[in-house]
Structure 1
Amino acid sequence: MRFLIWGAGGIGCYYGARLQQAGHAVVYVARGEHLLALQQQGLQVEHENFHFAAAVTALDASQLMQQYCISDFDLLLVCFKSQATQPWLEECNSWLAAGQTPVLSLQNGVDNEPELEAVIGRARTLGGIALRIGGHIEAPGVITASGPAQIIFGAWPNRDQGEMNPETLQQIDVAFIEAGIPSRISENIAVELWRKLMLNNAVNPLSALTHLDTQTLSNHELYGPVVQQLMQEVAAIAAAEGLPIGEQDVAEMYGLICTFDGIKTSMLVDLEKGRPLELEGISGTLLKRGKKLQVPTPMTGLVYGLLNQQHETH
């Protein structure tokens, strides 16, 4: 298959390398020093069960749109931060509209798929999550990754209401699995996205505040109960929006995060590197939704406020 990885950072490069090593054609969209390194030295990925070092096809966004059509690809994987989704859709609208290639979001949050659907239509929109993976740019062109690195994806918003061709889903699933990426097609990807948001809201901002990894944070005497409450607030908003999510999901997600290998979250890495935080797409959207639905979110508000203040003072 022909894959386009847009936002070739830690996560995007890991999955791209897996697919490329399995024999698929992969094009990476990146920028800055990382892009130059990919073009001049190739891509290096280090993972406990996977090593990759090879030349890659890497371009910036303008080069990509000049040299390729959307129809040159069988799947576009969106791997950049959620705050970039709307500007990207506005900039690339006509390029995206010139074909029928499906687009799979592997981003954090629950706002990306509705934004994608509004521009490219439901029939081309795939929801997805990258689960149990830590991936970071160690140096330009060099990626370190850890964890099982599973992908769960499905027709947006679920199997019954989605318009994606089931054969296309199966073809993508097989490609992932054969490339060594644990993959599963979800019948209700909207629910999976909200379950992932539980994890992100619980540990991403809090890890940036405490500088602790996910396992240490979740099993901590003081912070563990905070992690649980942050998850409960997400579940309450999801339930108020009509999704079948409740205390059992909270228990499952908390059990999962406690037994994960400790991962350094993307928000902590962004804080350390002085990059913009993905706070609005995770906690910010919950505060807005909670206010609208009159669902209390005191702990999410506290963590959001503290992290915003800390980030502004630095």
Structure 2
Amino acid sequence: MSTPTAPLQVAVLGAGAVGCFYGGMLARAGHRVTLIGRPQHVQVFEAQGLRMQTLAFDETVKLHASTEASAVAGADLVLFAVKSPDTETAGAQMREHLKPGALVLCLQNGVDNAERLRAVLTGVQVAAAVVYVATEMAGPGHLRHHGRGELVIEPSTASERVVQALAAAGVPTEISDNVRGALWAKLILNCAYNALSAVGRIPYGELVQQPGVQDTMRDVVAECRAVAAADGVTLPGDVDAAVRRIAETMPSQYSSTAQDLMRGKPSEIDHLNGHVVRRGEALGVPTPANRVLWAVVKLVEAATLR
């Protein structure tokens, strides 16, 4: 693949499944990419490269790697893909190393991460992005892609160049003036699928075939829509169709919440169903289905971490 402009210097802070997919696609297209992640992955990245096992190809991509946030130095574009609870800490760690004029693109679950990151990175360009990709780390340095890969990002002074680079790298990307609405639409998808996939430890295609699941998902989505409306959010497109499409386009995908719990790691449930519960309380909108899913995942998480 060729790049339409000069290659970008790219750093991926949080080189898990999402960060590795987009960083790997850019590296494969000729951009200089540094993945910043955990030692077990970084050791493989440095020695062998990133194995990208996708629906379209299975290749090992050579790139740079580090365990230190200071490796964002010199990057034109930082793909910020840490877990939601780590947003402020990771932002503070990289703040003094950012190149003037760098764009930080938030590739995180939840609806408020970009806002939280801006509070830490005063004066830095931070753009929210909505991520639609099904991926997992199948082992150290090994990314497995289950479907999709598109991004929706909010406008910034650097976004046109970034969109051009991503599109040329095979990542469908669009700029939207309603990223808040798109983030809420993605949040609704996560609230419908993530907790149930985690509790059942099953992928989406199998999940929707289980008794009572689709009715439960409808209740969750209805509550989310009511909270979004009370919060003044305009949801784009057909949310119900988007919910159905997830199981059709990502049938083999386990939710990120399921992957976290299956690996004995804390989940992001406080920033998914938990966020809807908190906003519902603040706005006077009942959210019993979301509250139950949030509470059940917290119980499973506590038992797993013990």
Pairwise same-fold verdict (TM > 0.5): yes
The answer as to 2:182 corresponding to 1:180 is no
Aligned-partner Cα distance in 2 for 1:176–1:62: 23
Matches of 1:142 and 1:73, distance apart in 2: 24
Residues 1:90 and 2:92 aligned together: yes
CA 229–89 in structure 1, closer or farther in 2 if over 3 Å, else same: same
> Judging changes above 3 Å, is the alpha-carbon distance between structure 1 residues 180 and 250 closer, same or farther for their aligned structure 2 residues?
closer
Partner of 2:134: 134
User: Could you tell me which residue of structure 2 aligns to residue 148 of structure 1?
Assistant: 148
Question: What is aligned with 2:18?
Answer: 11
Q: Establish whether residue 210 from structure 1 lines up as the match of residue 200 from structure 2.
A: yes
State the secondary structure of the residue aligned to 1:147: strand
8 A contact 2:82–2:90 mirrored in 1: no
Residues 225-234 or 196-205, more deviating: 225-234
Tell me the secondary structure at the aligned position of residue 119 of structure 2: helix
- The residue number in structure 1 matching 2:3 is none
After TM superposition, the score normalised by the length of structure 2 is: 0.90
- Counterpart of 1:50, as a letter, is F
Q: Determine the C-alpha separation between the residues in 1 that align with 2:217 and 2:233.
A: 21
Aligned amino acid, residue 127 of structure 1: A
For residues 42-74 of structure 1, the C-alpha deviation after alignment (integer angstroms, 9 at most, x for no partner) is: 21110110222133200012552xxx63xx222
Return the alpha-carbon distance in structure 2 between the equivalents of residues 119 and 39 of structure 1: 30
* Mapped contact 1:219–1:258 kept (Cα < 8 A): no
SS of residue in 1 equivalent to 2:266 = coil
Counterpart Cα distance in 2 of 1:124 and 1:18: 23
Residue 54 of structure 2 is aligned to residue 38 of structure 1 = no
| Structure 1: 5+ residue stretches without partners | 156-163
2:248 to 237, 246, 259: 259
The whole-number CA distance in structure 1 between the counterparts of 2:101 and 2:11 is: 14
CA distance in 2, matches of 1:60, 1:313: 29
The one-letter amino acid paired with 2:260 is: D
Indicate if the aligned counterparts of 2:84 and 2:109 stay in contact, CA closer than 8 A: yes
Q: CA deviation at 1:22?
A: 0.8
Give, in whole Å, the separation in 2 of the partners of 1:172 and 1:253: 26
- Superposed displacement of residue 295, structure 1: 0.8
Q: Distance in 2 between matches of 1:87 and 1:14?
A: 23
Task: Report the alpha carbon displacement of residue 299 of structure 1 after superposing the two structures with TM.
Answer: 0.3
Could you say which residue in structure 1 is the equivalent of 2:262?
272
Q: Deviations over 1:75-121 (max 9, x none)?
A: 1111121111022123333334x622111111100110111222335
Contact 1:18 1:179 in 2 (8 A): yes
Matched, 1:101 2:102: yes
Structure 1 match to 2:116: 115
Q: Is the 8 A contact 1:232 1:250 kept in 2?
A: no
Which position in structure 2 is the counterpart of 1:161?
none
Does the Cα contact within 8 Å between 1:6 and 1:78 map onto a contact in 2?
yes
Q: Deviations over 1:144-168 (max 9, x none)?
A: 112121111113xxxxxxxx22xx2
- TM-score by structure 1 length? 0.88
The AA in structure 1 aligned to 2:77 is: L
Higher helix share: 1
Q: Distance in 1 between matches of 2:141 and 2:243?
A: 34
Please say which of residues 273-282 and 122-131 is displaced more in the overlay.
122-131
Instruction: Give the counterpart letter for 2:54 in structure 1.
Output: H
Write out aligned runs for 1:160-171 (5 A). Answer: 164-165=156-157, 168-171=158-161
Cα distance in 2 between the residues matched to 1:92 and 1:234: 34
Q: What residue identity is the alignment partner of 1:60?
A: T
The offset of 1:258, in angstroms, is: 4.1
User: Could you say what secondary structure the match of 1:148 adopts?
Assistant: strand
Q: Give the superposition deviation at 1:219.
A: 4.8
Overall identity of the aligned pairs, in %: 28
Q: Deviations over 1:277-309 (max 9, x none)?
A: 111111222211111111111001001111111
Q: How many residues end up aligned between the 2 structures?
A: 296
2-structure distance, mates of 1:275, 1:124: 31
Q: Deviations over 1:226-265 (max 9, x none)?
A: 112212222111111111239x743232232243231211
* DSSP-derived class of the 2:148 partner: coil
Contact 2:152 2:173 in 1 (8 A): yes
Provide the aligned C-alpha RMSD in A.
1.9
Contact 2:88/2:120, CA 8 A, preserved across alignment: no
Q: Which residue of the partner structure matches residue 189 of structure 1?
A: 179
- Taking a change above 3 Å as real, the CA distance of residues 291 and 26 of structure 1, as seen in their structure-2 partners, is same
Report SS of the residue matched to 1:296: coil
